[in-house]
Structure 1
Amino acid sequence: MSSSTPPSNDPFAIPADTLGMDPATMRRLGHKVVDMVVDRLERRNTEAVITTGKADDLTARLGGPVPDAPSDPDAALDLLAEVALTNMQHGDHPRYFARVPGPAAFAATLGDWLGTGFNTICASWGGGSGPAVVETTVCAWVAEMLGLPARTEGVLLSGGSMANFTGFCVARSEIGAGVAYLTDQTHASLPRNLRQMGLSSEQIRILPSDDALRMSAETLAHAIAEDIAAGRRPMMVVATAGSTNTGATDPLDAIADICAAHDIWMHVDGAYGAPAAITDRGRATLSGLERADSVVLDPHKWFFQPYDLGLCLVTRPGALERCFSMNPEYLRDVQAISGEVNYGNRSLELSRRSRALKLWMSLRTHGAQAFRDAVLRGIELAEFTEDHLRRTPSRWEIITPAQLGIVCFAHRGSDAADHAARAARVSASGFATLSSTMLKDRSALRLCTINPLTTEDDITRTLEMLAAPN
């Protein structure tokens, strides 16, 4: 309260706030933000899929000296929308086929806004019992949809990198330090995670993938036997459920058998592909997922949530708390009792917003069946893409077939440079964007088709543009 403002006898009166706004201004600006977002969603199909600005120009318009005096919030909002938020990839665009699209349900956006507006925290039970129950609820809902055991517990994080790191820490806590096994197709962030955990190069066994770019159970069994014979302790196998490059899934049941025989932690990186298990077709492909000790997925990918949202699920009750729990004196008054969860004790994050509200809101609004239908649509669009490519074998070659919403293919006679040039040309047009990649020693183009708003015409027109001469 400023010194010039007289005190009020009303205990519910709103004091003067140097960083606040009057209610009328808050409502007007809040409504403006909603209108800006919805206006953008209405024109989404006509905007450029990706725009990358120049650093000097963006800095000149958005940067400068620290603003010492107040300025017009309307102008600031307009500047953010027209400059900062235009110069980026639009992963929710129906013709965004690069890397992994991020089509977000608007109901989830509403949940996220509400949580931000209420300045929600989900760290301790005493400080956020309501948000804690929302997080426990959505973790249980997702685990059930994936077919994981009822005993599964979880924690929401920023994305796959931190969710996988969390699962790795729990594995080491439960099993003890030892060797981790992965393949040359494992996501690039995961060896980095293991190195930052302190594993030596000898403890990070990167195995060659098979001809289908999957982990070979035979190769894995041989590597484990070799390490045991050398006196090394196997700790964890990192299996992939839907690789980022091709959508390939490792043989999860066979890996689970090997892990069970040697008391090895089975971790499944399903940051991209695990949501496919909510469909009957995906569940068959991901058979064995339910046997994992930990599973990671990114709801900001194939669960249609705004960034950021990763999820680490652990099927051993209490393992998250055994790994991360701490009880300092200053948190003594907010410690959980039976049936309550302190989410600050389930990962390295203590101060954490409630990421669960958006997922809860979208599942409550649309229902699980709508999510199943949307995931199945992504699987079918990749199959449509493969079928369309196969109709002109003189032009296109399938490198990896449609798998969980991804198909990789090559333009006949093109090398890596030509593939990259074709992808860059399409992206520069603003019509669509896609990735070029390398599958071991083979150059390929790659489409990821998990946006349920994508049409068959979007795909065929993009392929026509790719086929045009550079």
Structure 2
Amino acid sequence: MTTRKINPDHALYYPADTLGLEAEEMRRLGHKVVDLVVDRLMHKNVEDAVLTGSPADLMAVLGAPLPNKPMDPDASLALLAEVALRHQQRGDHPRYFARVPGPSSFAAVLGEWLGTGFNAIAASWAGGSGPATLELIVIEWLKQLMGFPEGSEGVLVSGGSHASLTAFSVARSVYGKGVVYLTDQTHSSLVRNLREMGWPKQHIRILESDENYKLSMECLTRAIGEDRAAGRRPVMIIGTAGTTNAGTVDPLHEIADICQQEDLWFHVDGAYGGPAAITQQGRQYLSGIERADSLVLDPHKWLFQPYDVGCVLVRRPGALEHCFNMNPEYLKDVEASAGEVDFRNRSLELTRRSRAVKLWMSLRTYGIERFRKAINHGIKLAEFAEAYLRSRPETWEVITPAQIGVVCFSLNNGTPRQHAARAKALSDSGYACVSSTRLKDRSVLRLCTINPLTTEDDIMGTIDHLETDIGCSTILGRNCS
């Protein structure tokens, strides 16, 4: 590798900022931003777990006529920190248990800032060989962690939905169109992906999950047989490694066996649950994930990255480029050499920021053992929550046991309205946030416990507040009635 020395005389001809902000002012404001972020992260446990404002109120404070002249950047930063960025879900709050939290880490934030500050682009090798190398390295590390074989390839995208769309495009380029099999517990974005890709409704077979909310192998084999008998062509089975609702894992080895026997593409949605495979206990739940033809992960969930970064890994070498390759004249920079990758040819994104910087930075800073410990903590917290709920049988019923960081439960004889009301009251209080959802015809409450900062006291306090009449409680010093 050759490096070039910077000629200090060149800097004399150009100001640092494209639009004229002085370099020292940028330095001052940058330090202020760091302080705002670190101070906020140090005190996030006393913030509201989620805060939602009204459109009228937010527009009144944040809106204004289009600025014609410069405005005070300190005042603008204050509005961002105190109003705009305060009114959102706090995915890194230790008592944010709704959906799937996004508890990002310090080192990942640093990597994200540096990538943004250097205006890093990861579209072509010639345009960004350094960022492209980081992405290749990160993908290699993720392959190793997930047990994918040599030759597998991948790409970083915005999140699980885009990653699955990318994988489905590759599967179609290999197998063509045909029938796809999934369950009623599969994430709804995957059905949307198939529909928007032009899959006919009758070729999207949504099978009823079994009593454990997993893909029923009996239903699957019967459906495949029915479709073949009717002259339809099966092409893909979708398994889930950690359903959003209950954390359940489909029988991955059995699905992989059928895909091998029937010559079908095996896609696994491990957006939230996949990283649990790096732990000993998680690997027991997720055995078989390494046999997928395509696997989706969301590092902005259980790998503690700031939004956004998703990943798709594809077992077949060259399949991504075969599907997405585009090389018009205006994008041909120079002739490629061995080992060079143009990531614009691995997904639908052409302009691509470098999502690998933060993941590379945090994996190096913490080491994988610290990630394992953090993920294990989340698994154990869900098991603690289950045990605490079972210790109060007069109030609670556990509907699904703790599985890779998720547990679902219900008030005894609880109704959907009661569950929704309790979840809303808890959220409005600011103390914590949980989900109310449905498992088939059953209304449930749900905890997702993947934040390493969450304590057992946080779990007990949240369940206790759900158990009491929150409207008459005082939480964080606030009367919630």
Range class of TM-score, shorter chain: over 0.9
For the residue of structure 1 that corresponds to 2:311, the secondary structure is strand
Q: Deviations over 1:33-87 (max 9, x none)?
A: 0000001011111111111011011111112221111011111111111110111
User: Which residue number in structure 2 is paired with residue 421 of structure 1?
Assistant: 421
Matches of residues 56-95 of structure 1 in structure 2 within 5 Å?
Answer: 56-95=56-95
Deviations along 1:234-271, one digit per CA (max 9) or x if unpaired, are 11111100000000000000000100011100000011
CA distance in 1, matches of 2:455, 2:200: 47
CA distance in 1, matches of 2:190, 2:423: 27
2:389 alignment counterpart: 389
Paired residue secondary structure (2:156): strand
Partner of 1:6: none
Deviation at 1:150, TM superposition (A): 2.4
2:330 equivalent in structure 1: 330
1:239 is matched with: 239
Alignment of 1:277-426 (within 5 A): 277-334=277-334, 336-426=336-426
One-letter amino acid of the structure 2 residue matched with residue 173 of structure 1: S
The structural deviation recorded for 1:330 is 0.9
Partner of 1:458: 458
Aligned to 2:5: none
In structure 1, the residue corresponding to 2:332 is in which secondary structure? Answer: helix
Q: Tell me how far apart the structure 2 counterparts of residues 18 and 211 of structure 1 sit (CA, whole Å).
A: 60
In 2, Cα distance between equivalents of 1:372 and 1:165: 29
Alignment correspondent of 2:14: 15
**Taking structure 2 as the reference length, what is the TM-score of the superposition?**
0.94
* Equivalence for 2:199: 199
Distance 2:164 2:33 in 1: 34
Partner of 2:442 in structure 1?
442
Residues 386-438 of structure 1: per-residue CA shift (max 9 Å, x gap): 01111111111010000010000001131000011111111111110100110
Counterpart of 1:51?
51
Match of residue 128 from structure 2? 128
| C-alpha deviation, 1:18, in angstroms | 6.1
Q: 1:202 to 1:75 in 2, by over 3 A?
A: same
Q: 2 CA distance for matches of 1:197 and 1:379? A: 36
Partner of 2:161: 161
SS of the equivalent of 1:11 reads helix
**What is the rounded CA distance, in whole Å, between the counterparts of 2:303 and 2:198 in structure 1?**
32
- Is 2:250 the partner of 1:253? no
Q: Deviations over 1:329-388 (max 9, x none)?
A: 011224533211100000000100000000000000000111111111100000000011
Three-state SS of the structure 2 residue aligned to 1:88 is: coil
C-alpha distance in 2 between matches for 1:18 and 1:467: 56
Q: How does the TM-score come out when normalised to structure 1?
A: 0.97
AA in 2 matched with 1:116? T
Structure 2: distance between partners of 1:445 and 1:86: 26
The offset of 1:92, in angstroms, is: 0.1
Q: 1:228: Cα distance to partner? A: 1.2
Aligned to 2:476: none
* Aligned residue type for 1:11: H
Deviations 1:440-460 (A, max 9, x none): 000100000000100000000
Aligned residue for 1:33, secondary structure, equals: helix
Aligned mates of 2:116, 2:20 — CA distance in 1 = 15
Aligned to 1:31: 31
Distance 1:65 1:90 in 2: 30
Q: Residue 413 of structure 2 aligns to a residue in which SS?
A: coil
Q: Secondary structure at the match of 1:333?
A: coil
> Could you tell me which amino acid in structure 1 is paired with residue 272 of structure 2?
Y
Question: Secondary structure in 2 aligned to 1:401?
Answer: strand
Deviations 1:77-126 (CA, angstroms, capped at 9, x unpaired): 11111110111111000000000111001100000000000000000000
CA distance in 2, matches of 1:182, 1:46: 41
Number of the residue aligned with 1:3: none
The percentage of aligned residue pairs carrying the same residue is 63
Q: Which runs of 5+ in 1 are unaligned?
A: 1-8
d(CA) in 1 for partners of 2:308, 2:459: 27
State the Cα RMSD in Å.
1.2
**Partner secondary structure for residue 12 of structure 1:** helix
> What SS is found at the alignment partner of 1:284?
helix
Distance in 1 (alpha carbons) for counterparts of 2:353 and 2:20: 21
The alpha-carbon distance between structure 1 residues 59 and 52, as it changes in their structure 2 partners (threshold 3 A), is same
Q: Does 1:137 align with 2:134?
A: no
* Paired residues of 1:124 and 1:335 also in contact (CA < 8 A): no
Decide whether aligned partners of structure 1 residues 45 and 334 sit closer, same or farther in structure 2, where only a CA change above 3 A counts: farther
Question: Per the alignment, in what secondary structure is the counterpart of residue 92 of structure 1?
Answer: coil
| Compared CA separation, residues 23 and 203, structure 1 to 2 (3 A) | same
Shift of 1:151: 2.2
Secondary structure in structure 2 of the residue aligned to 1:362: helix
Q: 1:255, 1:162 → 2: CA distance?
A: 23
- Number of aligned residues: 462
Evaluate the alpha carbon distance shift between residue 38 and residue 71 of structure 1 in structure 2; reply closer, same or farther with a 3 A threshold: same
Aligned partner of 1:293: which letter? D
> Residue 477 of structure 2 corresponds to which residue in structure 1?
none
Label 1:18 to 1:161 Cα distance change in 2 as closer, same or farther (>3 A).
Answer: closer
SS in structure 2 of the partner of residue 357 of structure 1: helix
Encode CA deviations 1:209-229: one digit per residue, 9 max, x unaligned: 000000011211111111111
Deviations 1:131-151 (A, max 9, x none): 001001001101111222222
State the alpha-carbon separation in 2 of the partners of residues 201 and 50 from structure 1.
37
- What does the per-residue CA deviation read over 1:286-329, in whole Å, with 9 as the maximum and x for residues that have no partner? 11111110000100001100000100000111110010011100
- Matches of 2:420 and 2:257 in 1, distance apart? 41
Alpha carbons 1:49, 1:430 under 8 Å: kept: yes
Give the structure 1 partner of residue 96 of structure 2. Answer: 96
Q: Could you list the runs of 5+ residues in structure 2 that have no partner in the other structure? A: 1-7, 471-481
